[in-house]
Amino acid sequence: MNRLGLMVDLSHVSQATMKAALEVSRAPVIFSHSSVYSICKNPRNVPDHILRKVASNGGIVMISFYNYFLTCSKEATISDVI
């Protein structure tokens, strides 16, 4: 995908796959709809050690606004997103 100029989207992959992709990707990666694991312990969310690798890679993590991924509860506010 790097050779073709495609961005690698790592949303919904396992943490092992996140790590493996970041170790071999020469181009920035993207998480098109994920949230932060340390805030909400959902397996779809990105843990801190991967967030640091994404920063080093120049990639981005776009936040999911789905309550159960953002706050692990029925409710979330814009403050939770910020």
Name the average pLDDT for the chain. Answer: 93
**Would you state the pLDDT for residue 69?**
92
| Mean pLDDT, residues 17-44 | 94
Q: Structure pTM?
A: 0.86
Stretch 34-52: mean pLDDT, rounded? 94
Q: What is the mean pLDDT of residues 30-48?
A: 94
Going by the DSSP 8-state scheme, the letter that residue 36 receives in this structure is B
Phi, psi of 58 (to 5 degrees): 85, 10
Specify the pLDDT at position 46: 97
Average pLDDT, integer, range 62-81: 92
Determine how many CB atoms are found less than 10 A away from the CB of residue 72: 14
- Give residue 2's pLDDT: 83
